[in-house]
Structure 1
Amino acid sequence: MLIPHRLLSIALILLFVISTDSVPAVAQTELLEAETENSPLATSGPQPRIVEPPAEGALQSAIDRGVDFLLQDQRPDGGWGSAEQTKGLNIYAPVPGAHQGFKLAVGGLVLSSLVECESTLDAERAAKVSKAIDRGTKWMLENHERVRRAEPMAIYNVWGHAYGLQSFVDLYHRAKLLGQDELEEKLLAAAQIQADKLNRYSFLSGGWGYYDFDHRTQVPASSPTSFTTATMLVALHNAKEIGVRFPEKLIDKAIASINRQRNPDFSYAYGEYLRMMPRMEINRPAGSLGRSQACNLALRLFGDEHVTDEVIQTWLDRLFARNNWLGYGRKLPIPHESYFMVAGYFYYYGHYYATMCIEQLPEEDRQDHENQMAHILLPLQEKDGSWWDYPFYNYHQQYGTAMALYSLRHCQQD
């Protein structure tokens, strides 16, 4: 005799309740404690070899050259980056929306890095940077509201919203420091607009992604990705500190999405659609080297006690000890063609968020990691002063340089 599905479900629920009630209270407490403890895998991993601190003046020299590249590369309208320099194989980027999003993201990253480095520069270079920041800020304020979804499948605009938001926050702090009250108000309003855009494009199941392959609905209903969600959360955390509003329920859904993708060793699935394949190459620690830095940071900023100092240090050590797994993909023209399905554009992204992870540690625990970071990034600077990791229209040198400059600035011992 077949039991109707509804009756079978009720029977199973009753069985679970009865079996749970039969577990002694002490045992239930132990089970709960076990669930909240990290796996030993979270804090075990390879150790990088010890490296020497950078030579005196090496960091500032590299920063100066990188800043000079960005100054020379600023476009006549005040922004950075363009849809030029195409190649035989390009990332799908429907016009104009995709490129408007890319330009806002790149412009935001560059301005944030220039603000970060401004205080380290000599007077002549600092004056040039100040003018470039003013021109770039004007461009951002005039153009940021144009950025929106390119078409139902491609949602690249979220990168513009995140890095535009972060840049408005950084520029807000600068304006406040300089006593520019009117500009301060404009930047806060712009930051709120970009946060509202992130609200609009948040995924149905929580978090964010940059494609809606499955449904192409107004509220994206495909799979969010771990690193995209982490990127948005980091920007939103910083924005909330200056008074930008964002629905807490969407924050909670985004955090839950990242946690669903987290493996016991704190590697993260590429996206929720792959979370049931934790040993797939891209989801293993080597494939997660760049993503884990951003995801750990996002969860830590929003109070996740699982992301301890030890977890952060373990993943920083792994990044430095196993750096070639990211490095093999650097400058390859096809996304995900390298070992562990790593794409080139994760290289400076991973180091950028690793730098922010270092900032989460006590000061006495930072210097070795900063030395490792400088040891990796300094030799990769190009002859023209830029850094880049993936041939991406005319955006790659700009975002790569911006991310590398941020990292090197934080390697300096003030």
Structure 2
Amino acid sequence: MISVFAEVCPKSTKRQCPALGERRRPAGCDRHPAEHSSAQVTPMTSPFTRPSRLVQNTILSAAAICLFLAHPLVAQPSGADSVFAEWRAKADPAVEKALAYLQHIQKEDGSFEGAYGDSTGVPALAGMAFLSKGHLPTEGAYTVALNRCIDFILANQRPDGVFEKGSAGNGPMYAHNIATLFLSEVSGMVEPDRQARISIALPKALGLILRAQAVAKDENHRGGWRYEPGAHDSDTSCSGWALMALRSAKLNGAAIPDAAITAAVEYLHRHQQEKDGCFGYTSIDDHALTLTGMGLLCLELCGEHGSERTKHAADWLLRNFRSLPGNQFEHYANYYNAQGMFQIGGRHWQEYANWMYTTYLPQQAPDGSWDSHEAGRTYGTAMMVLAFTVPWRQLPIYQRDETVDEDAH
């Protein structure tokens, strides 16, 4: 059987995340609305092939020349950069303290204490939190913790491809989608033996996501996902994670059909209110405060940067995000809001970032954690780190166009 993953880089199995503060457009990610073919795409070479730091110095000059040729004009400081500069001195130690907390409470098998800590979803979120600050599974302070996250997920894959263990909530797909996203992001950053295991597990996981999307559904639910692989309905929360997993894999060279991405985007379109721009859960009328950031991020990542739909959603968030504290799904919403507002950039990101850091930095507990209404401290801490670290631009899926702050939207 042919793997859905192409050989990412013939001379290296490492993926390259941008240096701190660097912004660039991911190859193969059309940042403007475009028609999509239903045929399988040809596997692409990923732009994120990260060499080991042992050899980075020997290729630095060549890489700099390549980057100069690709982008001869160096990006000037933007609105996002000014926000980052203002908050970095406070956010950096808070994030490192949070990562130390996650490392401290992790069990030897890679799972975590607390609610859903024994699922495959929470270790995946924790793993992405480590990656989001630039930490690697091959070296550094969190090598053991990161590899434990990876190994826990790999050890808990069912024969049908689902990553499932422990508390699965309403069904396994939610955690599965997050775990698949994490493995896709970390694929190419690990040592060869672990990479070989990921290369076996990841195509199975992606195939399961594609099969679950293809289950017969009515018009309202078509193109989305729900808690069970065989479900005949969908919700936008589960679908958002699945779509990001597919998009991440596509950016890393997987032959994900364009039709699958298009169907998921069209599903999200049907759950956005035309009048206000907000997104709902199973209809257009429910959980808008929780899910509008999710819709904004997914559309921004899938070819609709700066479209009327994303501007409409971002404007709705600007009018409503201050009512988020105390919401049942506060940490989930803040994560998506931060990522989505960062993608659209300009005044939307500036205003949200200033509010987010002002609001949540003082809420960090002395041990480095953040508690969450929805799923406890491990989840809350990982989600807050992922929100805080968006300006670090370390996770390939969340790279954005260099030009987003050239206007104030």
Mark yes or no: TM-score above 0.5: yes
Q: Tell whether the 8 Å contact from 2:249 to 2:256 is kept in structure 1 after alignment.
A: no
The percentage of counterpart residues that share the same residue type is 20
What is residue 400 of structure 1 aligned with on the other side? 380
Q: Are the equivalent residues in 2 in contact too, given 1:108–1:167 (CA < 8 A)? A: yes
Partner of 2:67: none
Partner of 2:119, secondary structure, is helix
Structure 2 gaps of 5+ residues are 1-82, 395-409
Partner of 2:365: 382
Q: Does the CA-based 8 Å contact 1:149-1:157 persist in structure 2?
A: yes
1:210-237 deviations in whole A, cap 9, x for unaligned?
457xxxxx7312x311232122112210
Give the equivalent residue in structure 2 for 1:301.
301
The AA in structure 2 aligned to 1:234 is: M
2:142 aligned residue = 129
Residue 322 of structure 1 deviates from its aligned partner by 2.9
Structure 2 match to 1:117: 133
CA–CA distance in structure 2, aligned partners of residues 80 and 400 of structure 1: 13
Corresponding residue of 1:78: 110
Aligned residue in 1 for 2:46: none
**Residue 251 (str. 1) matches residue 251 (str. 2):** no
Tell me: CA distance 1:312–1:377, structure 2 relative to 1, closer, same or farther (3 Å). farther
2:90 alignment partner in structure 1: 58
SS at match of 2:234: coil
TM-superposed deviation, 1:303: 2.2
Give distance in 2, aligned partners of 1:367 and 1:291. Answer: 20
Q: Which AA in structure 1 matches 2:301? A: L
Deviation string 1:355-390 (CA, Å, 9 cap, x unpaired) is 322342357975454333322321222232112322
Q: Aligned residue for 1:139?
A: 152
CA distance in structure 1 between the partners assigned to 2:342 and 2:188 by the alignment: 18
Over 3 Å counting, the alpha-carbon distance change for 1:103 and 1:359 in structure 2 is same
Aligned length: 301
Does 1:204 find its partner at 2:187? no
Secondary structure at the counterpart of residue 127 of structure 1 = coil
Instruction: Quickly say closer, same or farther: Cα 1:353–1:188, change in 2 above 3 A.
Output: farther
Task: Name the structure with the higher helix share.
Answer: 1
Which segment drifts farther, 73-82 or 140-149? 140-149
For 2:130, the aligned partner's letter is L
CA offset at residue 244 of structure 1? 2.8
> 1:167 Cα shift?
0.9
In the other structure, the counterpart of 1:34 is: none
1:159-204 Cα offsets, whole Å, 9 max, x none, are 12211111112211423xxxx3443343233222221221233352
Name the TM-score, length of structure 2 as normaliser. Answer: 0.63
Q: Does 1:164 align with 2:173?
A: no
Letter matched to residue 60 of structure 1: D
Do 1:113 and 1:403's aligned partners in 2 also have CA atoms closer than 8 Å?
A: yes
Instruction: Say whether the 8 Å CA contact 1:230–1:298 is kept in structure 2.
Output: yes
The aligned counterpart of 1:108 is 124
Q: Kindly provide the CA deviation profile for residues 15-65 of structure 1, in whole angstroms up to 9, marking residues without a partner as x.
A: xxxxxxxxxxxxxxxxxxxxxxxxxxxxxxxxxxxx997566211121122
Q: Give the Cα separation in 2 of the matches to 1:72 and 1:166.
A: 24
**What's the secondary structure of 1:79's corresponding residue?**
coil
TM-score (norm 1): 0.63
Q: Pairwise CA RMSD of aligned residues?
A: 3.5
Give the letter for the 2:212 counterpart. Answer: Y
Largest Rg, 1 or 2: 1
